[in-house]
Amino acid sequence: MITIKKAETKKDLKDYILFSFDLYKGNPYWVPPIIAEELETFDKSKNPAFETAEAHFYLAYKDNTIVGKVAAIINWDEVNILNKSKVRFGWFDAIDDIEVTKALLDKVYELGNKHSLEMVEGPIGFSNLDKVGVLVEGFKEIGNMVTWYSMPYYKDHFEKLGLLKEKEYIESSFSFANIDPAPFTKISKLVQQRYQLRCLNFTKTKDIMPYVDDMFELFNETYSKLQSFVAINKVQKEYFKKKYISFINPEFIKFIVDKDNKMVAFAIVMPGFSEALQKAKGKLFPFGFYHLLQARKHSKEAVFYLIGVAPEYQSKGVTGIIFEEYYKVCEAKGIKTCVRTPELEENNAIHNLWKHFDTKITKRRRTYSKKL
């Protein structure tokens, strides 16, 4: 018999997190989160997402053993501002028992029906900066810190339970050694002269902070046309600024500004932390922080996390400036592999940025939906 329990206490939530550690134990492709970071994400007093969203965390038990988990989420900005009558589910993991998956999803449907919402979609988090989707291809490729790994049977469970494909995302990689910098070096020079643009480069995190609010404003503007986008609010900006910016190498953050110092483009790249997180095993101490610090300094992988260009500068070659600057940094750091994190299959603008690179699709993931 399957029973569902709401995870409310810190111990419950830690059990919720640790279930994934048990499920993926020995899996060489799963990248564990930092347990303390996950607990903070689920903490209503610390994560500002809860100011405009609600989330309920459920554990499935069978014979007094945890066999699955899910978060049922309503992003009220999405419902009230974007008029999308949707309940989300995220942070899903379960054993290969479709009845467990059904019991967990029923709790998500229950929340949606309680508020007379029209559909469910997942796996997705609170916002567009959270992880998204279940893998449908690429199960034998190592994950990264901004994606969920998932078992191959998740897709089968969802489809057998009547959920349909909602959105598809692709991930890809390319070898740095195969990049010919000449085309975008030429474009960069022309674009900088024509539009009087320049790139801001950094060596210290403190020098980045005055520009971060402008970056998030541009992020909201750049991604607003995507069907799934929910804008990042002021409180969330402050939270992400403190939580993530200091974690990224200053050299890997690029801002493009015009002659009036107005930001017209940005890009954030991260070192590859996957192997360091696997060594950390969910803990920063005593050795986890050391592994992460070493990866920050010496990783030979560059993970392209976010790129945004103001609408009036799109298709004008501004990304040539960005790529030229990253080529210099990656060459200096001895980067060998470049990774593209999940990009919506429908986002042709972002795909066009990479048309001159010899990219290889390594993973596909998707969200699933169902009418309530």
Q: In degrees, to the nearest 5, what angle opens at C-alpha 56 toward C-alphas 97 and 87?
A: 85
Q: What is the pLDDT of residue 227?
A: 65
Q: Is 370 helix (H, G, I), strand (E, B) or coil?
A: strand
Question: Is the bond into 286 cis (omega within 30 degrees of 0)?
Answer: yes
First to last CA, the chain: 25
Q: What is the pLDDT of residue 228?
A: 65
Q: What is the pLDDT of residue 127?
A: 85
Q: What is the DSSP letter of 317?
A: T
d(CA 276, CA 293): 9
The one-digit pLDDT tens for each residue of the chain (372 residues) are 999 999 999 999 999 999 999 999 999 999 999 999 999 999 999 999 999 999 999 999 999 999 999 999 999 999 998 899 999 999 999 999 999 999 999 999 999 999 999 999 999 999 888 999 999 999 999 999 999 999 999 999 999 999 999 999 999 999 999 999 998 889 999 999 999 999 999 999 999 999 999 999 999 888 877 766 787 888 888 888 877 787 789 999 999 999 999 999 999 999 999 999 999 999 998 899 999 999 999 999 999 998 999 999 988 999 999 999 999 999 999 999 999 999 988 877 777 778 778 899 999 999 999 999
Domains of the chain: 2-170 (3.40.630.30), 180-356 (3.40.630.30)
Name 177's Cβ contacts closer than 8 Å, sequence gap at least 6. 336
Q: In degrees, to the nearest 5, what angle opens at C-alpha 161 toward C-alphas 155 and 52?
A: 80
Q: What is the pLDDT of residue 153?
A: 98
CB atoms within 10 A of CB 98: 14
Q: What is the pLDDT of residue 350?
A: 79
Q: Rounded to two decimals, what is the model's pTM?
A: 0.93
d(CA 270, CA 250): 10
Q: What is the pLDDT of residue 277?
A: 96
243 φ, ψ (degrees, to nearest 5)? -80, -35
